[in-house]
Amino acid sequence: MKNIFTVLLLIFITKSFAQEDAWIYLTDKPNVSTVLANPTSILTQKAIDRKQRHNITIDERDVPVNEIYISDLKAQTGITVLAKSKWFNAAHVRGTEDNIKALSNLTFVETIDFANQNLNTASRRASRLNKTEIEDETIAFTYGDTQNQVEMINADNLHLADYTGEGITIAVMDSGFPNVNTMGAFQRLRENNDLLDGYDFVDRTSDVYAFTGSNHGTKVLSTMAAFVQDQFVGTAPDASYYLFRTEDSGSENPVEESYWVEAAERADSLGVDLINTSLGYTTYDNSNYSYSPADMNGQTAYISKGASIAAEKGILVVVSAGNAGATDWQTVGAPGDSPDVLSIGGVDGNGDYVSFSSQGGIAQIGYQKPDVVARGGAAYVVSEFNSIVQNNGTSFSSPILCGGIASLWQALPNASPTEIKDYVRQSASQFNTPDDFLGYGIPDLDLAKNLALSLDEEQLGDFIFYPNPVKSNLNIVLPSTVNQLEVSVYNQLGQEILNQVITENSKTINVSSFTAGIYLIRFSTQNISKTLKFIKSSNE
């Protein structure tokens, strides 16, 4: 009997004193209508301008949480407030199960969601993965340049046209940015005043450049922003950057998801255009907090729901797919599982799938993951010691493409985030036949620019072609002032696949043999040339 009592006592003590994490959702916010009537009190003018440009409504989610509620939570017995979110009107707290459950007695607490799903409803158990295990492997400390990883996505043609990310602002969420404020590889960035600001949400300090156990963020940033004369050029060397530390490399805990949401909210308020996140969340030190592959549906993980809100707010979120392709986990992690973000898988220098790159899974119903791919195998990066090295990981394919997208967006300043995502997907190498390894394939950002410009332009004088989409015959209508017209059709690789002269007696182009997909059509006369887009639909 004594032994039974001892066991029961131990169970009671463990239950009473074990620390749990939970999200506390609050009932309301103060003075919402007044605040929304004066948006400059909560958002920078740059953020307001960006939202207006993309027709994004400023709503109640932009209003800060009630700080009186936060103070009251902090005052509760055994409760530590670790983070808060205006988008979710929530606070991330830590305490014993009993102390957290006691918060439901507070009038301003609407619901409680434990990170340990055993304390809510269904379990989310899985074994822990080390998401930086592959990336931290240095393959070679050898100098080289970034020609392959830049040319692979055709960002070099954007650079030649002077589209280098100028005027685009990127927030980088990562685990540490040591020496970015002093390294030679970022000297050009600093001299151009493009290293805007930063914050460490983990340690709650503005010193984001101190070494905190990880150099991951420095390497990630380098693929976009570093510049070493004749040796290394990032994909967006003239973009502007905010650096936010949201990842604690010393442990795996769901509070990091909450740090990320806080950083995304700050990025939104600062008017950021793009977020790059070379992080992924699947499993935790406490297995009760872990997700399962079935949870990677874009609607379960807190960070994935936050990433979707960021997209709603007009930010284009670019996320690494993850490095679990060769593990039992296999599928894309959070927040890359959100259908509203661009998830980037990895290929090698030849454009072939690398086995570690996380794949699409059955949880992503009705949408494709990863979205597209870029070089993640033996990618060139700059370490915190200002050395050019090669590392593996989708942590690098993501920013390589994110920087390229910043350069693309500079060329298309009126495009919305959704349109930019669509152009990137449509330009990719296997847009017509996506799969769970490469998604839509390797984007061609110069082609993406041309696709967008063809849609923006007006019809060439009175020239009309129809139908669009087309199954078999594309009809061309000539204006009365033109007797002859040269027509060229190009595939997504920019290759000319048809050239035909259109006259009054021959005004039809047969495209029935073309595979389904997007094509460019160029109309040329002696004085004018015009390129537009048409869609070849399936013959079925």
Residue 353, domain member (yes or no): yes
92 is catalytic: no
Residue 280, domain member (yes or no): yes
Q: Does residue 447 or residue 304 have the better pLDDT?
A: 304
- In this structure, what DSSP letter does residue 470 have? B
Which residues lie closer than 8 Å to 45 by C-beta, 6 or more apart? 271
Helix/strand number for the chain, H first, E second: 14, 23
Residue 128, domain member (yes or no): no
- In this structure, what DSSP letter does residue 493 have? T
- Same domain? For 213 and 289 the reply is yes
Q: What's the mean pLDDT in 514-540?
A: 78
- State which residues form the domain around 365: 138-452
Rounded to whole angstroms, how far apart are CA atoms 357 and 339?
Answer: 18
pLDDT at 494: 77
pLDDT at 507: 82
Digit-coded pLDDT (tens) for 279-291: 999 999 999 999 9
- Same domain? For 443 and 478 the reply is no
pLDDT at 389: 95
pLDDT at 320: 98
pLDDT at 463: 62
395 is catalytic: yes
- Same domain? For 464 and 328 the reply is no
Pairing of strands 19-26, 109-114: antiparallel
- Same domain? For 372 and 272 the reply is yes
Q: What's the mean pLDDT in 303-307?
A: 98
Residue 165, domain member (yes or no): yes
Residue 277, domain member (yes or no): yes
Q: How many CA atoms lie within 13 A of 358 on its CB side?
A: 41
| Catalytic choice (175, 395, 397, 398) | 395
**What string of H, E and C letters represents the secondary structure of 31-48?**
CHHHHHHCHHHCCCHHHH
- Residue 150: give its domain's CATH number: 3.40.50.200
Q: What's the mean pLDDT in 5-9?
A: 45
16 pLDDT tier (thresholds 50, 70, 90): low
- Same domain? For 266 and 215 the reply is yes
Q: What's the burial of 387, exposed, middle or buried (CB within 10 Å: 0-12/13-18/19+)? A: middle
174 is catalytic: yes
- Same domain? For 337 and 408 the reply is yes
Tokens of residue 57, six digits: 């409504």
Residue 427, domain member (yes or no): yes
- Same domain? For 375 and 447 the reply is yes
Say how many domains are in the chain.
3
- Same domain? For 314 and 439 the reply is yes
Digit-coded pLDDT (tens) for 79-134: 999 999 999 999 999 999 999 999 999 999 999 999 998 998 654 444 445 554 45
Digit-coded pLDDT (tens) for 496-512: 899 999 887 888 899 98
450 pLDDT tier (thresholds 50, 70, 90): confident
pLDDT over 90 percentage in the chain: 72
| Catalytic choice (92, 200, 214, 216) | 216
Residue 5 pLDDT greater than 80, yes or no: no
pLDDT at 137: 47
For residues 344 and 375, the answer to whether their CB atoms sit within 8 Å is no
- Same domain? For 192 and 273 the reply is yes
- Residue 487: give its domain's CATH number: 2.60.40.3080
Strand partners, 460: none
At residue 14, what are phi and psi to the nearest 5 degrees?
A: -60, -45
pLDDT at 423: 92
| Catalytic choice (21, 62, 156, 174) | 174
Residue among 160, 246, 176, 258 at smallest CA distance from 209:
176
pLDDT over 70 percentage in the chain: 90
- Same domain? For 69 and 178 the reply is no
pLDDT at 123: 45
